Structure 1
């Protein structure tokens, strides 16, 4: 959702600010950095791997940005190195970070995957909550802007 006048993602900014403040309360900033830098580089590496897969599987597709194949391959290996070193150096923090990220699976299943199979009270609550946030923050879905 974006603001109707400023075209900024206000709910996402507020959500990130609240999460950042909660993370700061944890006390150990280095563990926090390890938790999330591990998954940041894991996600970046997976995105680059997906790019390489699409480039190999669908070579005939038009690509708006053209670059030599060595750049994404090198970037993938760098990201893989950072992930492997994080697991080697701090396996406990990486496992905790993995558990934190995996808590998003039930949210995905309830809110996205099985959205049409939700109980009516949950669906009504989500609609009312969405409308309340849109009204309070003066935001609309990006397609409507």
Structure 2
């Protein structure tokens, strides 16, 4: 549910940082490194991930917000981080993220960083599937 009002006379800078967990050999980047948004404004940014290996991979991206206080005012309406993402062997994937900032974001928060770390969870997911099959 998007807010009904946009605070047009205020901007907040959101920076995007991507990191790769152990075992991720491919690319994981954000198309946009920094964006200025008005609180209440719906914003779309794109992230890209690639799997240069010859095996399919299942990934999970974990978000982190700095300063932590800003996390309460960041609302994602669509995010690749909501679900595990399958990257086929050799695939390059566009992963959109749509967000808005709560119009009530405190005035002292005029910039924050949203960081994503991508992890390879293929073995963990395969282990779950095998244990379910065994029961």
TM-score, structure 1 normalization: 0.24
Bigger relative contact order, structure 1 or 2, given CA contacts below 8 A and separation 6+? Answer: 1
Larger Rg: 1
Larger helix proportion, structure 1 or 2? 1
